[in-house]
Amino acid sequence: MSIDAPQAASKRVQVVSGITVRLVGDSGDGMQLLGTQLTNTSALAGNDVATFPDFPAEIRAPRGTRAGVSGFQVQFASHEVHTPGDTLDTLVAMNPAALVTNLADLRAGGLIIVDEDSFEAKDLKLAALEKNPLDEETLTDKYRLAKVPITKLTRTAVHDLGLSPKEADRCRNFFAMGLVYWLYGRSMDTTMRFIASKFSKLPAVREANERALKAGWAFGETTELLDASYQVEPAKLAPGKYRNIMGNQALAWGLMAAAKLSDKDLFYGTYPITPASDILHELCRFKNFGVRTFQAEDEIAAVCSAIGAAYGGGMGVTCSSGPGIALKAEAMGLAVMLELPLIVIDVQRGGPSTGLPTKTEQADLLQVLYGRNGEAPIPVLAARSPGDCFDTAIEAWRIATRFMLPVVILSDGYIANGSEPWLIPDMNNIEKISIKHPGPRTEADPPFKPYSRDQLLSRPWAIPGTPGLMHRVGGLEKANGSGNVSYDAENHEMMVKLRAEKVANVASILPPQQVMGPKSGQLLVVSWGGTYGACHTAVQQAQSAGMSVAHCHLRHLNPFPANLGEILHSYEKVLVPELNLGQLRMLLRDKYLVNAMGLNKVKGKPFAVSELVSKIKEVCTASGNGRHA
């Protein structure tokens, strides 16, 4: 993805394989909106795309300060991409704070576009800068700098529309957008449509934003600051119809699809929390799909309401992030005891406690596995990418209903807000989820046993309203079969083991775990969740460089796939990169007695591919030396 080619004097169009752009400004500057627009436009142009929105926890942090900087990074390419890119080709910065906090990620020779009107003394002061960074020689030595009077040009473009100066300045982001669109030969159509629909009730604002966008484009075409534009050809994705999808959206749609496939109505009980709330926002729009959303009074009520819905025969789902999952723990244990189907979604964020609400992390694995009193095993699945959230939701519901138990889905802030092209599935081609509720009984029938078992140890899902199946469930230990309260010692131990065995049985219906790369060799990289893209790309790069390395990405964290042990022992070394201090690594070492190493990072940011590649290289080299010593 190089744009380092020698520059000609006239405007040229250069074909490049991929571009990584980061748009940064104040949290109120509309950077997330710009990023989304650039992503959609690039996806529609046929590129593969991956995004990384990064914003502060405060809605409107103090304007112009470093704390208030909000960013959106997107990589679009003519080849497959699985990450938003390590280093930036272009940095668009709307103010000095945004520039200085992001500059380190720009590659040498990369392009900086700044709004030079926002580098006044007061702006520098807000960014805690003594000197104007635009005047630093090192800046122009190392990078290509385009100082654009974005504010002035935007104001000029919209001056006769009767907007207040503040309103006019709010169009700055579309000017910047227009300029970026010109730079990468992007069509303005999608964004024009977006503006028209978003501001349909505010004709002056609509007109102003349209003008700003066009003015930005025109500026690119005429300015001498930029001497070339770049073109990224469409990517060769699998054939089919695509759309762009975000992780939280895909989870919402996956839940709706699972409900449809199982002929159930979705009940979604939740409490607002970052970064999970967008699933609620998405689902509450779809009442005509039979979706019932319930914004509960707290996290506990949210999960309890979902269990109540499950007892009534509905598809009960609750969702939160780490702090909320902690509050739901007792009720999740009850769901284990009741043996009712339930989906619990944890969109992870930086912890512990309130932690880093808007930043990503993978540190809730042990919480969802073990964070309950007593022996309370629960199957855990983790989505690997925005689009994968859709399939994960369906699979979670398939497991929950087949085995009558709660299932956890792990997502994270990175995939929740990230987006990628999604091959649109056809609902008619997805396997149905078959659920059978036992039918009515009369007094002539033998008594109903709510805790009787099938061959995989699942119990019948008898729902209120069915004559003859009246039964009571509860948190006290159950006698197997009858489901009556039992304090019997032998029964308790048997039930504890039975619940564990039931969860272990889930592995019997899972497809065997696949690896990308050689079936044995020097190194196996094992990952889970949102680090998939970076690990996949890093392993591919290492393989291309001739290293003996394979990648094993786990969707199932509990139970593990049946063949995982065999896979782990087929490589000399096992590396487990995680955005935590080694949670999966601990589990693998415990269960498989494998000397797994970790690559661990807890900075609220995803892995850069380069970090992984250099670790893989280091391990492979050490391993190679070891062999030859």
Residue list 39-78, contact with another protein (CB under 8 A): 40, 43-44, 46
* Closest to another protein by CB, 392 or 522: 392
Question: Among 24-32, 99-107, 251-259, 400-408, which window interacts with another protein (CB under 8 A)?
Answer: 251-259
Distance between start and end Cα atoms, the chain: 39
Q: How many residues does the chain have?
A: 629
**Helix ranges restricted to H, 506-563:** 532-544
Question: Among 89-97, 250-258, 409-417, 615-623, which window interacts with another protein (CB under 8 A)?
Answer: 250-258
Q: Of 209-238, which residues contact another protein (CB under 8 A)?
A: 234, 236-238
* Closest to another protein by CB, 238 or 444: 238
Query: In the set 101, 452, 466, 520, which binds another protein (CB under 8 A)?
Result: 466
Q: Of 131-160, which residues contact another protein (CB under 8 A)?
A: none
Give me the 325-364 binding string for another protein, x by CB under 8 A, dash otherwise.
-----xx--x---x--------------------------
Query: In the set 12, 125, 159, 287, which binds another protein (CB under 8 A)?
Result: 287
Torsion of CA 40, 44, 46, 48, to 10 degrees: 20
* Closest to another protein by CB, 15 or 470: 470
Q: Are the C-beta atoms of 31 and 24 separated by less than 8 Å?
A: yes
Closest approach, Cβ 363 to another protein, in A, equals 26
Q: Identity (one letter) of the amino acid at 546? A: G
Q: Are the C-beta atoms of 339 and 383 separated by less than 8 Å?
A: no
Nearest-angstrom CA–CA distance, 533 and 561: 21
Q: How many CA atoms lie within 13 A of 86 on its CB side?
A: 13
Closest approach, Cβ 145 to another protein, in A, equals 34
**What is the distance, to the nearest Å, from the Cα of residue 202 to the centroid of all Cα atoms in its chain?**
33
**What is the distance, to the nearest Å, from the Cα of residue 19 to the centroid of all Cα atoms in its chain?**
21
Q: Give the largest Cα separation in the chain, rounded.
A: 94
Q: Does 196 interact with another protein (rule: CB under 8 A)?
A: no
Q: Does 474 interact with another protein (rule: CB under 8 A)?
A: yes
Query: In the set 109, 439, 465, 511, which binds another protein (CB under 8 A)?
Result: 465
Nearest-angstrom CA–CA distance, 263 and 440: 20
* Closest to another protein by CB, 175 or 267: 267
Query: In the set 116, 132, 229, 286, which binds another protein (CB under 8 A)?
Result: 286
* Closest to another protein by CB, 433 or 594: 433
- Angle formed at CA 323 by CA 55 and CA 334, multiple of 5 degrees: 145
Q: Does 438 interact with another protein (rule: CB under 8 A)?
A: no
Looking up tokens 């080619």 gives 5
Q: Are the C-beta atoms of 276 and 320 separated by less than 8 Å?
A: yes
* Closest to another protein by CB, 104 or 238: 238
Closest approach, Cβ 291 to another protein, in A, equals 8
Q: Of 290-319, which residues contact another protein (CB under 8 A)?
A: 290-292, 294, 296-298, 300-302, 304-314, 316
Closest approach, Cβ 492 to another protein, in A, equals 17
Quote the DSSP letter at residue 561. P
Nearest-angstrom CA–CA distance, 318 and 284: 14
Nearest-angstrom CA–CA distance, 382 and 555: 5
Nearest-angstrom CA–CA distance, 315 and 463: 12
Q: Does 81 interact with another protein (rule: CB under 8 A)?
A: no
* Closest to another protein by CB, 153 or 329: 329
| DSSP state letters, 363-393 | TTHHHHHH-SSSS----EEE--STTHHHHHH
Closest approach, Cβ 37 to another protein, in A, equals 11
* Closest to another protein by CB, 175 or 294: 294
Q: Are the C-beta atoms of 517 and 546 separated by less than 8 Å?
A: no
Nearest-angstrom CA–CA distance, 476 and 474: 6
Question: Among 164-172, 470-478, 495-503, 555-563, which window interacts with another protein (CB under 8 A)?
Answer: 470-478
Q: Does 253 interact with another protein (rule: CB under 8 A)?
A: yes
* Closest to another protein by CB, 250 or 539: 250
Q: Of 476-535, which residues contact another protein (CB under 8 A)?
A: 476, 484-485
* Closest to another protein by CB, 476 or 622: 476
Closest approach, Cβ 46 to another protein, in A, equals 6
Q: Does 427 interact with another protein (rule: CB under 8 A)?
A: yes
**What is the distance, to the nearest Å, from the Cα of residue 273 to the centroid of all Cα atoms in its chain?**
15
Q: Does 424 interact with another protein (rule: CB under 8 A)?
A: yes
Q: Of 258-277, which residues contact another protein (CB under 8 A)?
A: 260, 265, 267, 269
Nearest-angstrom CA–CA distance, 538 and 516: 12
Count the residues of the shown chain that bind another protein, applying the rule CB under 8 A: 73
Q: Does 470 interact with another protein (rule: CB under 8 A)?
A: yes
Quote the DSSP letter at residue 116. G
Query: In the set 49, 157, 205, 256, which binds another protein (CB under 8 A)?
Result: 256
From residue 588, give the alpha-carbon distance in Å to each of 225, 505, 558, 560, 600.
55, 19, 11, 9, 15
Nearest-angstrom CA–CA distance, 435 and 461: 9
